[in-house]
């Protein structure tokens, strides 16, 4: 993997992070979840996921245990997608491509891996975009944190 490929992948990832952050922040604002700007801070953005899913944001500390963070992320996104009525098919897109991203790194290398990861990243961004729909606020999750 060359510098150009890594730069392109990094740029798409950063743009996607910002796009999803804006959408998550708007959903937090529409749902009454405070500190929506946490959506742009790595790891703190998952505290907003937890609030939207009706869970304790301190559970984010479990992300430091391998695999546990991915499981919590998928569980919370599942609850959020159900509450915003975007469950089908976007949660499944996110789930399949989260797991598929790991598999790709074992199956491919070089340019094929970069192309595959770019496709996976774009689809994961699209799935989160659809799930974090601020026009479908989640009732009963307002907080003062």
The pLDDT of residue 88 is 67
The pLDDT of residue 145 is 47
In terms of pTM, does the model score above 0.75?
yes
Helix (H/G/I), strand (E/B), else coil: 56: coil
How does pLDDT run across 73-92, given as a tens digit for each residue? 889 988 998 888 877 688 88
Helix (H/G/I), strand (E/B), else coil: 55: coil
Domain ranges of the chain: 3-131
Helix (H/G/I), strand (E/B), else coil: 65: coil
Distance separating alpha carbons of residues 13 and 24, to the nearest angstrom: 16
Sequence-separated (6 or more) residues with CB below 8 Å from residue 63: 43, 46, 69, 72, 73
DSSP state of 90: I
The pLDDT of residue 11 is 85
The pLDDT of residue 47 is 94
Mean pLDDT by 10 residues, the chain (145 residues): 74 88 93 92 92 93 89 90 81 82 74 79 87 85 60
The pLDDT of residue 12 is 82
Asked if residue 24 lies in contact with residue 13, where contact means CB atoms within 8 angstroms, the answer is no
The pLDDT of residue 143 is 62
Distance separating alpha carbons of residues 65 and 23, to the nearest angstrom: 27
How does pLDDT run across 30-41, given as a tens digit for each residue? 999 999 999 999
């Amino acid at each position: 993997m060359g510098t150009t490929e890594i730069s392109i992948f990094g740029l798409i990832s950063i743009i996607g992070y910002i796009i999803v952050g804006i959408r998550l922040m708007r959903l937090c604002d529409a749902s009454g979840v405070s500190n929506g700007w946490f959506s742009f801070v790595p790891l703190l953005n998952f505290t907003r996921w937890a609030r939207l899913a009706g869970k304790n944001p301190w559970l984010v500390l479990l992300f430091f245990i391998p695999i546990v963070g991915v499981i919590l992320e998928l569980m919370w996104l599942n609850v959020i997608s159900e509450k915003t009525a975007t469950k089908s098919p976007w949660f499944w897109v996110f789930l399949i491509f989260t797991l598929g991203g790991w598999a790709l790194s074992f199956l491919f290398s070089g340019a094929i891996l970069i192309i595959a990861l770019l496709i996976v990243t774009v689809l994961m961004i699209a799935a989160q975009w659809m799930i974090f729909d601020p026009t479908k606020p989640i009732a009963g999750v307002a907080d003062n944190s």
